């Protein structure tokens, strides 16, 4: 079986889809999450929420976060950087 | 219906009750309605849910036809429910199935049928009700119906015992995980209660066996309302410091 790099094409999201996906992961109402939202502003993004995020990134995009990634995420912007780096997010 | 002013009052909070078509679920729904809860009756058959609804007097209620084997339908159905009635407060997972089979006849398929309803559906319901955009901001209360057979064994009930023991174990883990959100999680372990489900199960046994089983309950067999009252107590907002508990409601069966 060959190695697969990055997410499947079908899983690549635009900004709007990514915001909806993040809202779903943290069980927030769609629209409450924007690109500048900070982790501390999302009640569901506590230590258990981070575990949910790790599982969701793995299941949907086959993305495995490094410890550095996990420690460095302070908000949606940092998460977007990871998604872009892994080819799961397109758009400015 | 007059609502008593006590710590058991629900003051219009909404609680989802599965297995509401009969037996323990129906008894829980009736008890909750009498204490001022809005009750969501979940079951497979509209006609039987309507029969339960007719017992609720003027209490606020909804019926939700749902086959809990279809796990993927649970989150969408509960999310829609939240749109209809507002934030939810509680869940009582009373739906359950039992297959009496000795080990040679106990296949993975028959085990899975029991786990699908008794455990997996309950956990999926908990996941749905506890979503941050579904649950009331104040927190909530979940009650699972386990069984004395989660604590003690019985020939022919390996699968059922396993599911109910798993329910009690899951309840403890959920209680710890959800405490930070003021969500309490408890279970009840009923002994022999005469319901349609136990009638079918007992029909497979000899009269002597049934008599012996009933005699093993120092207070005799229970009634559905005995469990309904216990569930209402654990669900009630006033029971605010009780979580992770497994309450035996068994007429003394497991005290021996």
Give the mean pLDDT of B115-122.
Answer: 98
Give the mean pLDDT of B1-11.
Answer: 76
Q: Do B131 and A27 touch (CB under 8 A)?
A: yes
Q: Token digits for B190?
A: 């009923």
CA distance B181 to chain A (A): 10
- B238: which residues sit within 8 A by CB, 6+ positions away? B6, B7, B8, B9
Under DSSP, is residue A22 helix (H, G, I), strand (E, B) or coil? helix
Mean pLDDT of chain B: 95
The Cα–Cα gap between B173 and B101 comes to: 29
pLDDT of residue A3: 41
Q: Do A28 and B132 touch (CB under 8 A)?
A: yes
Q: Do A29 and B131 touch (CB under 8 A)?
A: no
- Span B221-242, pLDDT tens digits: 999 999 999 999 999 999 999 9
pLDDT of residue B107: 94
Minimum CA–CA partner of A44 in chain B: B132
Q: For residue B153, list its beta bridge partners.
A: none
Examine the residue annotation and report whether B253 is marked as an active-site residue of this protein: no
pLDDT of residue A1: 38
Residue B174 binned pLDDT confidence (cut-offs 50, 70, 90): very high
A24 CB within 8 Å of a chain B CB:
no
Q: Do A28 and B177 touch (CB under 8 A)?
A: no
Contact B115, B95 (CB under 8 A): no
B109 CB within 8 Å of a chain A CB:
no
CB-nearest partner of B133 from A27, A46, A48:
A27
Q: Tell me whether 0.90 is exceeded by the ipTM.
A: no
Residue B203 binned pLDDT confidence (cut-offs 50, 70, 90): confident
Residue from B237, B74, B228 nearest B140 by CA: B237
Minimum CA–CA partner of A43 in chain B: B132
> What residues of chain B lie within 8 A of the CB of A46, using their CB?
180
Q: Do B132 and A26 touch (CB under 8 A)?
A: yes
CA distance B177 to chain A (A): 9
Q: How many other CB atoms sit within 10 Å of the CB of residue B112?
A: 11
pLDDT of residue B48: 97
Residues 40-79 of A with CB under 8 A from B: 43-44, 46, 48
CB-nearest partner of B177 from A26, A27, A48:
A48
> What residues of chain B lie within 8 A of the CB of A26, using their CB?
132
Q: Do B132 and A44 touch (CB under 8 A)?
A: yes
Sign (positive/negative) of CA torsion B87, B58, B31, B196? negative
Residues comprising chain A, all counted = 92
pLDDT of residue A10: 54
Residue from B51, B45, B85, B90 nearest B64 by CA: B45
B177 CB within 8 Å of a chain A CB:
yes
Q: From residue A55, how far is each of A25, A63, B248 by CA, in Å? A: 10, 9, 36
Q: For residue B190, list its beta bridge partners.
A: B249
Whole-angstrom Cα Rg for chain A: 13
Minimum CA–CA partner of B127 in chain A: A27
Which regions in chain A score pLDDT beneath 50?
1-5
Give the residue from A22, A23, A27 with the most B CB atoms within 10 Å of its CB, the best one to mutate: A27
Residue B1 binned pLDDT confidence (cut-offs 50, 70, 90): low
Checking if the pLDDT of B6 tops 70, the result is yes
The Cα–Cα gap between B201 and B195 comes to: 10
CA distance A1 to chain B (A): 31
B132 CB within 8 Å of a chain A CB:
yes
Checking if the pLDDT of B131 tops 70, the result is yes
- Span B52-83, pLDDT tens digits: 999 999 999 999 999 999 999 999 999 999 99
Contact A76, A13 (CB under 8 A): no
Find the Cα–Cα–Cα–Cα dihedral B102, B103, B106, B112, rounded to 10°.
Answer: 110
Q: What is the DSSP letter of B244?
A: S
- Span B36-46, pLDDT tens digits: 999 999 999 99
Residue B196 binned pLDDT confidence (cut-offs 50, 70, 90): confident
> What residues of chain A lie within 8 A of the CB of B79, using their CB?
none
Find the Cα–Cα–Cα–Cα dihedral A14, A18, A19, A22, rounded to 10°.
Answer: 180
């Amino acid at each position: 079986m060959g190695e697969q790099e990055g997410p499947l094409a079908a899983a690549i999201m635009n900004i709007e889809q990514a915001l909806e996906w993040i809202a779903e992961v943290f069980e927030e109402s769609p629209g409450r999450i924007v690109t500048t939202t900070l982790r501390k502003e999302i009640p569901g993004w506590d230590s258990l929420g981070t575990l949910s995020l790790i599982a969701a990134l793995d299941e949907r995009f086959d993305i495995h976060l490094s410890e550095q990634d996990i420690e460095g995420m302070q908000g949606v912007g940092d998460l977007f950087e990871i998604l872009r780096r892994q080819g799961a997010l397109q758009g400015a | 219906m007059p609502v008593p002013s006590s710590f058991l009052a629900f003051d219009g909070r909404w609680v989802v009750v599965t297995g509401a078509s009969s037996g323990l679920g129906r008894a829980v729904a009736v008890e909750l309605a009498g204490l001022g809860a809005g009750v969501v009756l979940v079951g497979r058959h509209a006609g039987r849910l309507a029969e339960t609804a007719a017992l609720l007097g003027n209490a606020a209620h909804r019926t939700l036809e749902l086959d809990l084997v279809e796990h993927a339908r649970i989150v969408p159905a509960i999310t829609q429910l939240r749109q209809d009635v507002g934030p939810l407060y509680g869940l009582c997972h009373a739906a359950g199935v039992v297959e009496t089979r000795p080990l040679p006849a106990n296949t993975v398929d028959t085990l899975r049928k029991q786990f699908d309803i008794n455990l997996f559906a309950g956990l999926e319901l908990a996941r749905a009700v506890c979503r941050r955009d579904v649950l009331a901001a104040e927190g909530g209360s979940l009650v699972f119906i386990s069984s004395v057979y989660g604590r003690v064994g019985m020939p022919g009930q390996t699968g059922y015992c396993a599911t109910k023991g798993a329910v009690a174990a899951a309840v403890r883990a959920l209680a710890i995980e959800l405490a930070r959100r003021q969500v309490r999680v408890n279970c009840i372990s009923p002994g022999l209660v005469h319901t349609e489900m136990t009638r079918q199960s007992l029909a497979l046994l000899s009269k002597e066996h049934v008599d012996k089983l009933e005699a093993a309950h120092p207070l005799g067999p229970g009634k559905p309302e005995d469990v309904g009252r216990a569930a209402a107590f654990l669900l009630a907002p006033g029971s605010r410091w009780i979580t992770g508990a497994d309450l035996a409601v068994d007429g003394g069966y497991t005290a021996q």
